[in-house]
Amino acid sequence: MAPTLTLKSGTSWAEARQRCLTAAPEAFRDDRVLNLWNGTWQADGRALPATSPVDGTPVAGPPRLDRVTAHRAVRASLDQHRAWRHVPLPERRARVAATLDALAEHRDLLALLLVWEIGKPWRLARADVDRAIDGVRWYVDGIEPMLAERTPLDGPVSNIASWNYPMSVLVHAVLVQALAGNAVIAKTPTDGGVSCLTLAMALAAREGIPVTLVSGSGGELSQALVRAPEIGCVSFVGGRDTGAAVATAVADLGKRHVLEQEGLNTWGIWDYTDWDTFTALVPGLFDYGKQRCTAYPRFVVQRALFDEFLAAYLPAVRTLRVGHPLAVEHAGDPYPALDFGPVINAAKAKELHDQVAEAVDRGAVPLYRGSPAEARFLPGQDTSAYVQPVTLLNPPPSSPLHHAEPFGPVDTIVLVDTEAELLAAMNASNGALVATLSTDDRSVFDRLAPQIRAFKIGHGAPRSRGDRDELFGGFGASWRGAFVGGSLLVRAVTRGPEGERLPGNFPQYHLMP
């Protein structure tokens, strides 16, 4: 009989909320969070109700601004930008370094907010915070040569990012952009992370970093955050539909941009025998329920190896640990070791369940389904945002699971007989961020990898977004604008010599680093 679980001591949402009020009273009210613009925390915007995907607990929702107020915030950010761009680099470094020290001091609270707001297990939530801090420190230590003969942009950088990595993607980018001499604007993701971002931005604002934090719908704020003439660069992380609209706007305006969009990242298996290594990698591929832009939801497998693939894959996927990220046997126990908790909300869970059911109804073969009975839940808790791992063979072409990233713990497998079929299946989504090819023969990898349309390609090992000096971008529809990572992130948000062509994927050209 499974033990009855309880909430880990000191981790309730009420306690996390109170710690926020103590740490940054200027940014939090008893019943809401505030927007930050014109250097002041503002009690404006219509606060929407929100619930945690973890168990349905009510949490702080985003205070959504209207477009008129958003334009006022952008104009105020331009004033900040015109002052900040003339602040000497040593002072900018000192202020960003002080911000990092403050983030490190509040590391566990930031991580706990990520658990409640977007459902990250504790291990991954802390890793998100640590990657932000450590990544920006790398820039603080080495920024001088990256800025040689470069100047800040003419206006602030506008950041619109998805909810899944508030710290290691959004906060990381904001602080590097500010270090490079720009004022920065961040839009709170609609689906989660508002309290975590509010605390992080409050700590940055205290150190004099010119940050603006606003909430609102993309449709309502796009005129201000994308099209406004004051904006010097648009940095976007999200899906292809929204990204396409942003791409059209920035192309029309000739505006500097970095648009990271989704793609169907694939893992190919061809003439391969090292199954023990593959088995060991599979659980890690499910971290955070595959809710990340570098997840691998599609395996393209040589038909002759399908039996060996299943013998290596299925035992690994059966070890996955799913449940409430704060549920323990005894209140004083350590945080549970989980691979993932909920998806971002109940609506996303329903969408995934419906897509799986529809794919099976149209001919996909279910090879594995995790059991909710084996998950770790509190007695009587809301589990509507949880999806157990699922693996389908040959999703039909009519299914979204055939050609799009599910952004959840759903794997699909496609069988192929020739190298040409392998490449066609791995390139199904017109460009991806990462891909991997597992093959014993290095010459086969060297021959096929250049034909795979992904920015990063691993040989028998997964690739990630990367940190510090590792570059990042995408092929095809998975990326628009300047590539980032290492010195490229600084180049993307600064001006260089006249006529400079940035590495990236632009309407006029595609230039690899």
The pLDDT score that the predictor gives to residue 249 is: 81
- Dihedral sign for Cα atoms in the order 390, 395, 400, 404: positive
Radius of gyration of the chain (CA): 23
What is the DSSP annotation of 231-262? -SEEEEEE-HHHHHHHHHHHHHHT-EEEEEE-
Per-residue H/E/C for 388-426: CCEEEECCCCCCHHHHCCCCCCEEEEEEECCHHHHHHHH
Residue type at position 436: T
CB distance 124 to 287 below 8 Å = yes
What is the DSSP annotation of 96-129? HHHHHHHHHHTHHHHHHHHHHHH---HHHHHHHH
The pLDDT score that the predictor gives to residue 250 is: 81
Sequence-distant (6+) residues with CB within 8 A of 413 are 298, 299, 300, 301, 309, 367, 391, 392, 393, 394
The pLDDT score that the predictor gives to residue 254 is: 82
The residue assigned the tokens 């001499």 is 181
Count the neighbouring beta carbons within 10 Å of the beta carbon of residue 96. Answer: 23
The residue assigned the tokens 């506008």 is 158
Going through 170-285 in order, the beta strands assigned E by DSSP cover 184-187, 211-214, 233-238, 256-261, 266-269
Going through 127-183 in order, the beta strands assigned E by DSSP cover 151-152, 157-160
The pLDDT score that the predictor gives to residue 1 is: 57
Q: Tell how strand 365-369 and strand 390-393 pair up.
A: antiparallel
pTM of the model: 0.96
Instruction: Determine the 3-state secondary structure of 166 from DSSP.
Output: helix
Burial of 251 (0-12, 13-18, 19+ CB in 10 A): middle
* Residue pLDDT tens, the chain, 513 long: 578 999 999 999 999 999 999 999 999 998 899 999 999 999 999 998 999 999 999 999 999 999 999 999 999 999 999 999 999 999 999 999 999 999 999 999 999 999 999 999 999 999 999 999 999 999 999 999 999 999 999 999 999 999 999 999 999 999 999 999 999 999 999 899 999 999 999 999 999 999 999 999 888 898 999 999 999 999 999 887 777 788 778 877 788 999 999 899 999 999 999 999 999 999 999 999 999 999 999 999 999 999 999 999 999 999 999 999 999 999 999 999 999 999 999 999 999 999 999 999 999 999 999 999 999 999 999 999 999 999 999 999 999 999 889 999 999 999 999 999 999 999 999 899 999 999 999 999 999 999 999 999 999 999 999 999 999 999 988 999 999 999 999 999 999 999 999 999 998 899 999
Count the neighbouring beta carbons within 10 Å of the beta carbon of residue 157. Answer: 28
